[in-house]
A and B are shown apart, each in its own frame.
Chain A
Amino acid sequence: MAVLLTKKTKIIVQGITGKEGSFHTEQMLAYKTNVVGGVTPGKGGQKSEHGLPIFNCVQDAKEATGANATVIFVPPAFAADAIMEAVTAKIELIVVITEGIPVSDMAKVIGFVRNSQSVMIGPNCPGIITPGVGKIGIMPAFIHKPGKIGIVSRSGTLTYEAVAQLTEQGLGQSTAIGIGGDPIIGLPHLAAVKLLAEDPATEGIVMIGEIGGTAEEEAAEYIKKHVKKPVVGFIAGQTAPPGRRMGHAGAIISGGAGTAASKMAAMKKAGIFVCESPAEIGITMKRALDKLKAKNKPAAKASKQGSSKKPAVKKAAAKKPVKKKK
């Protein structure tokens, strides 16, 4: 099992004939993702270069293919429209990759999304991947490995970094969700963490945040009260100056609010294992899980540590003493 993207997910691509849409459709298919068609108004009835049927509108695509998910690659000016079309067609999962959508468009669309049954991920996000099942988005699939760690992150490449570290530690991933770097997003940290917390296949959660807003604090509050699984956190932007937008539209400290320090403090208070260095996400999760295992199985502890876990522990030990000093 996993969250949002499972074996039952059938995906269409809005903007399948565009450069990005076409390229990433190919990548998704290469990862054996169940992509069943695409939408490009005016090209209905044709086949995409991948041999998939193209439809003029989402409703047609849904009726013909039984799609329950969509990924949106259309340019910013048409993205809000594409989202509303998908919501109206009652598509369950809407993943919006598009970067650069005006905030006022998203402010108008978001209420529409939240009043529907659809779950929207993004915009301005890498998408979602359930290793071994499929990927909806633009992340490199090969760094992932099926497993039991869920990931929630506002960033793209920083998530890949975290995934690579987990995989290096022998920790596979249940589902990795890139929730997006914009100030208005469909699935904020809290909602994503909740999904992973309730997912029986997820044993630990990595939460990667950024400066700006209070979404991480809200998620931390929830984790403190409800989440028993180990949660490892990192906040990017500890060195970012206030008032400056750091790449992502949502990554800005304004009026003294949304600093990395305040987020990290809230997360620590919630019992989250907060990493100060982004290089320690994998090892921190590994240690948290080992500690939990040792606690849960005190009898098996001695024998287990002696044998199977050796290589990973060794690697961790070798890495650790080097950093230490801040």
Chain B
Amino acid sequence: MKIHEYQAKEILRKYGIITPKGFVIDRPEEASEIYRNLGKSVAVVKAQIHAGGRGKGGGVKLARSADEAQAHARSILGMNLITHQTGPEGQKVLKVLIEEGMDIKHEYYVGITLDRRSSKPVIMASTEGGMEIEVVAEKSPEKIITETIEPTLGLQRWQASRLAYAIGLEGDYNKQAVKMFMGLWNVYDKEDASLIEINPLITTGDGRVLPLDCKLDLDDNGTYRHPEHPALRDTTEEDPLEVEASKSKLNYVRLDGEVGCMVNGAGLAMGTMDIIKYYGSFPANFLDVGGGANPETVTNGFKIILSDPNVKGIFVNIFGGIVRCDRIANGIVEAAKNVSINVPLVVRLAGTNAKEAKDILLKSGIKMQVADTLADGAQKMVNAIRK
């Protein structure tokens, strides 16, 4: 789960990490008072959206007076911010963070994430603050210094110190950086984070080390032991259909194609998307209805898929293993009766009792094509929408 910068910084503070002072607002009128409260000549008005690249898109502005702070808040709040990460449709800004301006001496990068190759977390630091780490990794990988963290022991002080020295932080800066890195590890470990990025990490003219921005992703699998995490979710950042699907506990990701896919299992769901493309169309979604695929999940699946106006046909591809296909077929028939399906429907059921299932589907009177194999189904689907 992605969360906002202001939420991430709140979590950082809980772990003793000092952040720039700031307040989040959703109404521009509040901006001038916050500017005055911050008591600095310069304040920064920052759009709170999950995507990166906010500055370039016009979502981060400096204010040198209360009026200017309010004017910026007014222009940013409600704007449709387009960055390289939002896609061309952009993301509407509903909150801004107003922070005290900083006398930035130098910008750095520090981040913690899982290295899948070693199955261990790594902490990375770089002198190239403000740049995307992926770009640095590609252009000048030698500028990224990493330390592998032994997960049962945690980040060690010497590692944090080595990292800070390696990016040129000495003396008191080093001490402060070490304290921050140790804090970041605590956040990563204790909050079940999957990614923390401080980009940029800054040194200031008055001798401080601070996180100017913070990106924090949380592991959904860890939510059960963090009852406060679900409240951090901002559904306005998500596709409304995906939010709807998650309420029905369906694993749905919206894409921009025309074939709605309903599949059981994540791998087969991706494979089904791929074969739709292979035969010349493009999937409208990823949808894994899970191992059960009962009438309820199938009904909900149909509803979600049909809510997408781009969908020109639906391909149901279920491999019935432990769950018998005849049961699934009954579920599909029942679901199809509940939901009016006004686009071509192709159903392919394989596995246990597939023949009985086919009979049930054919005798149901519901308008659909029944396919025997994956390739057969995908071709029938693509042909049906090409007509």
Contacts and interface: CB of A to CB of B under 8 A. Distances in A.
A234 B271 contact: yes
9 contacts: A103-B219, A111-B150, A157-B263, A160-B268, A210-B266, A247-B265, A277-B274, A278-B374, A279-B275
Nearest 5 CB-CB pairings of A with B = A155-B267, A247-B266, A157-B265, A140-B321, A158-B267
A103 B275 contact: no
A142 B352 CA distance: 8
A146 interface: no
Contact of A107 (B119, B251, B266, B288): B119
Interface stretch (A57-65, A238-246, A287-295): A238-246
B108 interface: no
Given A154-B267, A158-B270, 6 more contacts: A76-B221, A110-B119, A164-B319, A218-B117, A255-B133, A277-B375
B283 interface: yes
A18 interface: no
B116 A239 contact: no
Interface of B: 85, 114, 116-117, 119-121, 133-134, 137, 150-152, 189, 192, 194, 219-222, 224-225, 251, 253, 255, 257, 263-280, 282-283, 286, 288, 291, 319-322, 350-352, 373-375, 378-379
A152 to B, nearest CB: 12
Nearest to B133: A255
B219 A236 contact: no
A156 B192 CA distance: 26
Main secondary structure of the interface of B (DSSP, over half): mixed
A323 interface: yes
Contact of B278 (A101, A154, A277): A277
For A143, A208, A211, the residue with the greatest tally of chain B CB atoms inside 10 Å of its CB is: A143
Nearest to A209: B267
Interface residues of A, number: 69
Nearest to B137: A255
Interface of A: 27, 76-77, 100-104, 106-108, 110-112, 138-140, 142-143, 153-161, 164, 181, 183-184, 208, 210-215, 218, 234, 236-241, 243-251, 255-256, 260, 276-280, 319, 322-323, 325-326
A111 B221 contact: no
A266 B279 CA distance: 24
Nearest to B194: A103
B253 A248 contact: no
B117 to A, nearest CB: 6
A214 B116 contact: yes
For B134, B257, B282, the residue with the greatest tally of chain A CB atoms inside 10 Å of its CB is: B134
Contacts of A112: 152
B374 A279 contact: yes
B279 A323 contact: yes
A325 B281 CA distance: 12
A50 B51 CA distance: 53
A158 B271 contact: yes
Given A183-B114, A249-B221, A27 B322 contact: yes
Contacts of B271: 155, 158, 161, 234, 236, 278
